[in-house]
Structure 1
């Protein structure tokens, strides 16, 4: 998969993404089941989960500043990964909403920096080696699948108590792999202006891209918080939930491995319109026909379009809109507006909607947000 010249750089990156995303594969879909088991309400679950995404509005700016200050991106990634591992440990002992809120806030200070740091580190490391970013990033999708499937099986056999230990194992291995990563130090030039957040934000095209990304992550927020709980309420076992979630990510891997370059041949506008159109269908079917295994499976296979394909286009747009001089600011801005503000606010709203109308209401909300995004995109292109 990687050439001999690139193997020593690419495989450790592949492994890091594998185990870091295995943490996501356990935490994102299943932690809501654990919270529910200790009698937290839907709104409490939504508020706790939103901390991790809302923190990306501000926290990555600090880590970007630290990396630029030190000129050592590997060290920054190691500190953030090690801090995430240490912050997860107390979750095993907490039992009430207040404790989990505080612990999640501490976790967010490190966890929310991992994806921007890992993405920028990977892109810099593989530069000039002829390795597509999507091929390295496929390690994360594979790790997510393995974690989702394994956790679903163990939850059925052992119970929800296995969720937090699995989170610890994934991030601990990811931290150990950081010592194998090959680093390209950033040249320190204190007299060089690296860019201004507001000067980038004033560009109309940048603002529109961030708005579209905001709506995309808001539409996916109900899925990230309540999909496992929704399917569990519909009568699916832990193994079935794990396999259904992983089925969509399998198609994501295929997309990352084999279609990374093909996507560049098509208009970004047409691709994003496809993502939102299928998003409307996906969330409506998941919300209202969750009792049909075939319908849920088809909806899950759309994940490679609604999320993975949109992510690929977004990475391309970040690189197009922000020159190398502004690369760090561009990645941080994308994380803050899309993942942080879009995903975080979506999680909070989802928690309250869940209490009012359950899974059908939550995923109808996701479909409405996708429809709003599609209309916004089409109106902008007409103008």
Structure 2
């Protein structure tokens, strides 16, 4: 039987950590009197490790065949790395803690994705209904901790985030092993999979999609506040995007039965082109900003679910872990780091509107690569007499 709730609980706490850590840990670092450069260096370790660690752990899981054991060890080790923050407030100590925590934390998601699809088997269309609990966890954490910090000191964020990490550890030990995939008659190597044009097109497009989101994740809150919006509205705008993501995840099983993965990805990239233009040039209109946030359901929700499903199909058997690792490192790792760093260079030089226009251009580049590199499969014609 599908361990639906145990898998869902893992996603709940895993992305709950993102909601607890990303918005508030920078405020904790600021309270330690670190400079903006120090904070940027520390936070960039999360993206750097998402480039390096998943491929190493994916290769190890492929070799030893125990992905769940690695997920459990990574959960314990990431909590131990985070524990260093309680012992020091010096830059060097926090740097070591961040590096350790990020290295092990980033190992888990590609592996748990492959384990989830192994449990799903031929029910891959149900993935979105499990992944949606990660979005719920993000909302609970970001709103709950934000409300708590109105009355608690900023140092309390360490304890609350550590509690979420402890939840990841517990759920990691509850997730059962999946049945090993059936041995294929014609084994495929990683090089053979990557030689396919559609595989390269998807991975390249995913790099551009994450690069397109770089300015969003780094400067969106600043963008709104600088244009006269209150901080309370900023929090709810972030929540609106995740709610849209949840709605899309709930409908994905039906959509995947009706539309091809390629079609859903093309719609998602088209929505991203529009979304970042709206954020950049339509910031004076709350209605346009709301529309842009609702498009997050397509630019992340539909995009991620379809991309993960394609990776699952194209990287069979033991290659699943490697495929998920490549997807994560090239998109959220390399693409996210590139887009974030570039937006930091252009924000003051060319302004916010043109910076978001650059993100729209990245999404357009990904869209064109998909159209050219991933050709639709045409139905075969019956032979004529």
- What's the CA shift for 1:39? 5.8
Asked if 1:176 is matched to 2:202, the reply is: no
Asked if 1:218 is matched to 2:211, the reply is: yes
Cross-structure match for 1:55:
49
- 2:72 counterpart (78, 81, 84): 78
Cross-structure match for 2:128:
134
- What's the CA shift for 1:183? 2.0
CA change 1:136–1:319 in 2 (3 A) is same
Asked if 1:200 is matched to 2:189, the reply is: no
Which digits, 9 at most, give the CA deviation of each residue in 1:310-368, with x for residues without a partner? 11110221123223353222222222222222122222223333454564454333222
CA change 1:236–1:102 in 2 (3 A) is farther
TM-score, normalisation: structure 1: 0.84
Q: Where in structure 1 are there 5+ consecutive unaligned residues?
A: none
Q: Does structure 2 conserve the Cα–Cα contact (< 8 Å) formed by 1:84 and 1:111?
A: yes
CA change 1:203–1:128 in 2 (3 A) is closer
Which digits, 9 at most, give the CA deviation of each residue in 1:120-174, with x for residues without a partner? 1222233367881111111111101111222333345546544433321211112
- What's the CA shift for 1:275? 1.6
The within-5 A match list for 1:271-290 is 271-290=264-283
In the TM superposition, structure 1's runs of 4+ consecutive aligned residues that sit over 6 Å from their partners are: 128-131
Which digits, 9 at most, give the CA deviation of each residue in 1:182-240, with x for residues without a partner? 22364899xx9975443332222221111111101111222223333433444545543
CA change 1:232–1:154 in 2 (3 A) is farther
| Distance in structure 2 (CA, Å) of the matches to 1:207 and 1:127 | 25
Shifted more, 109-118 versus 125-134: the winner is 125-134
CA change 1:163–1:290 in 2 (3 A) is farther
Q: Which has the higher contact order (CA 8 A, sep 6+)?
A: 1
| Distance in structure 1 (CA, Å) of the matches to 2:150 and 2:286 | 18
Greater CA radius of gyration, 1 or 2? 2
- 2:139 counterpart (125, 141, 145): 145
Asked if 1:259 is matched to 2:252, the reply is: yes
The alignment partner of 1:198 has SS state of: helix
TM-score, normalisation: structure 2: 0.84
- What's the CA shift for 1:88? 1.8
Asked if 1:315 is matched to 2:311, the reply is: no
Shifted more, 207-216 versus 229-238: the winner is 229-238
| Distance in structure 2 (CA, Å) of the matches to 1:212 and 1:218 | 10
Q: Where in structure 2 are there 5+ consecutive unaligned residues?
A: 377-385
The within-5 A match list for 1:47-126 is 47-91=41-85, 95=89, 99-126=93-120
CA change 1:129–1:381 in 2 (3 A) is closer
Shifted more, 110-119 versus 347-356: the winner is 347-356
The within-5 A match list for 1:228-239 is 228-239=221-232
Corresponding residue pairs, total: 375
Shifted more, 135-144 versus 48-57: the winner is 48-57
Cross-structure match for 1:341:
334
Which digits, 9 at most, give the CA deviation of each residue in 1:247-296, with x for residues without a partner? 12112222212332323422444332322222122223323444544332
Q: Does structure 2 conserve the Cα–Cα contact (< 8 Å) formed by 1:153 and 1:239?
A: no
CA change 1:184–1:373 in 2 (3 A) is closer
RMSD: 3.3
| Distance in structure 2 (CA, Å) of the matches to 1:82 and 1:125 | 23
| Distance in structure 2 (CA, Å) of the matches to 1:12 and 1:165 | 24
CA change 1:310–1:130 in 2 (3 A) is closer
